[in-house]
């Protein structure tokens, strides 16, 4: 048999001796067989199959990609630092997953959810909080700037995308002013999340000139000895002022167009949702910032963190759940599935990137088929080609199971992220409903238990209804063939997105 006839199209085989080809073929099959038994270890079957498909189609390219981005865990040193911070938080937290007493009888599953979150993230559900819902990106930047200008002790700032422009400058200048008047300001900015945006270089120059303490989160600069899997990112959005006020949610610190020429040409603008928080939950958001600052710098900031979460009577009850590759489990996915399966009347989800794994898909379709009103808000347009087409491939199955899909009309890009369950529960945060947010990105979610806040979120949902179109499954089936083809091909990559 002439081995030159085998499909090794990446190799220049003409003139290669038969003995060399035998070695290449043997090594190739050894590579495939090793991958078959190695890659599935501690991975979901869907993720393992996606990697095996890539390796079996193109062994050399597939293995190289796997070696670069195949692990969903941070470096061992970083994992150890995260574990140490979890221990510090637990040591300074009362041994109870709920602090404070509810003024009304809550369903048992509310308490079991708090217990789950405490087990996963080490932070209890606490009473005595208040929240303001913010849906205007630029107004939120102004409010955050005002809070920083009132800071007297410290400011902790952590965002995925940060760049200087005409709208973000109000907040970034406030950070520098606070530093100059003696407030302890510390800034974390995700490296690869921010580096490609106009205004990032100016941001670096501005912070460096000011002397303000800041760090790139998860930097990828091998020439400086900084390296980890490049697509493991810190996607959290947190601002804490003096330990008494905090902001978190989906928004980045940049103009709502993200300043990209393509976005400006198409008129694209992002729609976000943030919450302004007071009460004991601020200490939990601050603990999360402190954990990330320690992971990047080795500095524990013990003078700027609440040593004990205060035990305050309710309402409003809330709990912070961190998630990401610094944890052994996919914390946010476990929370979402638990909430969905416990819903009795209504589930509302908003997610710009909705690429569910098998467990989330089963949870949503099961609840819809059992009569629960399941509503999903997604964008009619998106800035990520693969994620957009991958999520399109799930719509027909969801609608046929009874899920109502509302597509937020273009040119607005829906970027708000929340989960609402029945009349009690709201989850607001940075997490999308996709494999990236479940396994690859560091995320933050705030679990809020309060009827009045839940009613206020209904006003947001009503606004979304007015700006969205209900997906007609029969019309959806008639979309162009090329569109279906792109959806199906993108779906093959969904486990790796």
Chain segment 385-397, per-residue pLDDT in tens: 888 899 999 999 9
Is residue 304 domain-shared with residue 379, that is, in the same domain?
Answer: no
What pTM was computed for the model? 0.88
Is residue 199 domain-shared with residue 277, that is, in the same domain?
Answer: yes
User: According to the 3-state scheme, what is the secondary structure of 474-496?
Assistant: HHHHCCCHHHHHHHHHHHHCHHH
- 379 found inside a domain: yes
Rank 7-11, 28-32, 40-44 by mean pLDDT and report only the highest: 28-32
The Cα–Cα gap between 197 and 192 comes to 10
Is residue 172 domain-shared with residue 281, that is, in the same domain?
Answer: yes
Is residue 129 domain-shared with residue 56, that is, in the same domain?
Answer: no
Backbone angles phi, psi at 69, to 5 degrees: -130, 20
- 257 found inside a domain: yes
Q: Given a cut of 80, is residue 347 above it in pLDDT?
A: yes
Q: What is the mean pLDDT of residues 157-185?
A: 97
Q: For residue range 218-268, list pLDDT tens digits in order.
A: 999 888 888 777 888 999 999 999 999 999 999 999 999 999 999 999 999
Structure tokens at 110: 């509310």
- The angle subtended at Cα 350 by Cα 441 and Cα 393, nearest 5°, is 80
- 341 found inside a domain: yes
- 120 found inside a domain: no
Q: What is the mean pLDDT of residues 351-361?
A: 94
Return the minimum-mean-pLDDT range out of 56-70, 98-112, 116-130. 56-70
Is residue 302 domain-shared with residue 337, that is, in the same domain?
Answer: no
Categorise residue 122: left if φ over 0, alpha if ψ from -120 to 50, beta otherwise. Answer: left
- Choose between 55 and 318: higher pLDDT: 318
Give the DSSP H or E segment for 444.
strand 441-449
Q: What is the mean pLDDT of residues 214-221?
A: 94
Is residue 281 domain-shared with residue 389, that is, in the same domain?
Answer: no
- 105 found inside a domain: no
The Cα–Cα gap between 51 and 70 comes to 8
Q: Given a cut of 70, is residue 41 above it in pLDDT?
A: no
- 11 found inside a domain: no
pLDDT score, position 5: 43
- Choose between 58 and 224: higher pLDDT: 224
Find the Cα–Cα–Cα–Cα dihedral 85, 91, 96, 97, rounded to 10°: 0
Return the minimum-mean-pLDDT range out of 29-33, 101-105, 255-259. 101-105
pLDDT score, position 333: 97
The Cα–Cα gap between 136 and 167 comes to 12
pLDDT confidence tier of residue 137, bands split at 50, 70 and 90:
very high
Number of separate domains in the chain: 3
pLDDT score, position 10: 46
Q: Given a cut of 60, is residue 53 above it in pLDDT?
A: yes
Q: What is the mean pLDDT of residues 13-18?
A: 63
Q: For residue range 453-494, list pLDDT tens digits in order.
A: 999 999 999 999 999 999 999 999 999 999 889 988 888 776
User: Mean pLDDT, the chain, as a whole number?
Assistant: 88
> By percentage, how much of the chain surpasses pLDDT 90?
63
Domain interval for residue 49: 18-70
Q: How many CB atoms lie within 10 A of CB 76?
A: 8
Is residue 262 domain-shared with residue 411, that is, in the same domain?
Answer: no
Contact assessment for residue 336 and residue 361, using Cβ atoms and an 8 Å cutoff: no
Is residue 163 domain-shared with residue 270, that is, in the same domain?
Answer: yes
Is residue 308 domain-shared with residue 379, that is, in the same domain?
Answer: no
The Cα–Cα gap between 436 and 391 comes to 13
- 292 found inside a domain: yes
| Count of residues making up the chain | 497
pLDDT score, position 43: 67
Is residue 89 domain-shared with residue 228, that is, in the same domain?
Answer: yes
pLDDT score, position 42: 66
Q: Given a cut of 80, is residue 293 above it in pLDDT?
A: yes
Residue ending a domain, among 315, 342, 371, is: 315
Beta strand residue intervals within 42-153, DSSP E: 98-99, 125-126, 130-134
pLDDT score, position 44: 67
Residue ending a domain, among 256, 289, 315, is: 315
Residue ending a domain, among 289, 315, 341, is: 315
Is residue 36 domain-shared with residue 170, that is, in the same domain?
Answer: no
Q: Given a cut of 70, is residue 145 above it in pLDDT?
A: yes
Structure tokens at 39: 């890659």
Is residue 51 domain-shared with residue 94, that is, in the same domain?
Answer: no
Q: Given a cut of 60, is residue 154 above it in pLDDT?
A: yes
pLDDT confidence tier of residue 370, bands split at 50, 70 and 90:
very high
- 7 found inside a domain: no
- CATH at residue 285: 3.30.870.10
């Amino acid at each position: 048999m002439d081995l030159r006839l085998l499909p090794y199209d990446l190799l220049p085989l003409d003139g290669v001796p038969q003995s060399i080809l035998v070695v290449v073929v043997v090594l190739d099959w050894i590579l495939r067989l090793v991958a078959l038994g190695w890659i599935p270890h501690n991975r979901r079957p869907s993720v393992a199959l996606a990697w095996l498909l890539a390796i079996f189609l193109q062994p050399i390219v597939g293995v190289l990609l796997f070696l670069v981005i195949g692990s969903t865990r941070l470096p061992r040193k970083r994992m150890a630092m995260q574990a140490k911070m979890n221990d510090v938080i637990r040591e300074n937290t009362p041994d109870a997953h709920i602090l404070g007493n509810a003024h009304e009888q809550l369903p048992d599953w509310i308490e079991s959810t708090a217990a789950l979150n405490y087990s996963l993230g080490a932070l209890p559900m606490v009473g005595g909080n208040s929240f303001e819902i913010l849906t205007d990106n630029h107004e939120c930047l102004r409010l955050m700037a005002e809070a920083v200008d009132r800071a007297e002790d410290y400011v902790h700032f952590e965002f995925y995308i940060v760049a200087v422009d005409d709208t973000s400058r109000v907040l970034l200048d406030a950070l520098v002013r606070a530093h100059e008047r003696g407030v302890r300001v510390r800034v974390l900015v995700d490296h690869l999340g921010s580096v490609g945006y106009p205004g990032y270089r100016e941001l670096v120059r501005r912070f460096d000139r000011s002397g303000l303490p800041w760090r790139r989160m998860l930097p990828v600069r091998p020439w400086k000895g900084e390296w980890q899997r490049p697509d493991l990112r810190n996607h959290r959005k947190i601002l804490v002022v003096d330990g008494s006020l905090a902001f978190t949610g989906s928004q980045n610190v940049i103009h709502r167009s993200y300043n990209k020429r393509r976005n400006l040409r198409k008129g694209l603008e992002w729609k976000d949702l943030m919450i302004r928080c007071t009460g004991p939950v601020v200490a939990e958001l601050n603990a999360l910032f402190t954990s990330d600052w320690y992971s990047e710098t080795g500095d524990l900031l013990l003078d700027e963190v609440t040593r004990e979460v205060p035990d305050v009577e309710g309402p409003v009850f809330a709990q912070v759940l961190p998630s990401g590759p610094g944890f052994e489990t996919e914390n946010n996915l476990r929370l979402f599935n638990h909430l969905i399966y416990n819903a009795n009347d209504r589930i509302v989800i908003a997610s710009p990137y909705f690429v569910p794994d098998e467990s989330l898909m089963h949870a949503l379709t099961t609840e819809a088929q059992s009569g629960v009103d399941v509503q999903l808000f997604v964008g009619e347009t998106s800035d990520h080609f693969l994620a957009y087409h991958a999520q399109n491939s799930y719509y027909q199955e969801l609608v046929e199971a009874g899920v109502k899909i509302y597509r937020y009309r273009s040119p607005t890009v829906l970027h708000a992220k929340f989960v609402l369950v029945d009349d009690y529960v709201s989850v607001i945060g940075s997490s999308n409903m996709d494999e990236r947010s479940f396994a690859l990105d560091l995320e933050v979610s705030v679990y809020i238990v309060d009827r009045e806040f839940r009613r206020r979120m209904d006003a947001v949902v009503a606004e979304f209804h007015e700006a969205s179109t209900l997906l007609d499954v029969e019309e959806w089936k008639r979309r162009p063939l090329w569109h279906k083809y792109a959806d199906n091909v993108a779906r093959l990559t969904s486990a790796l997105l």
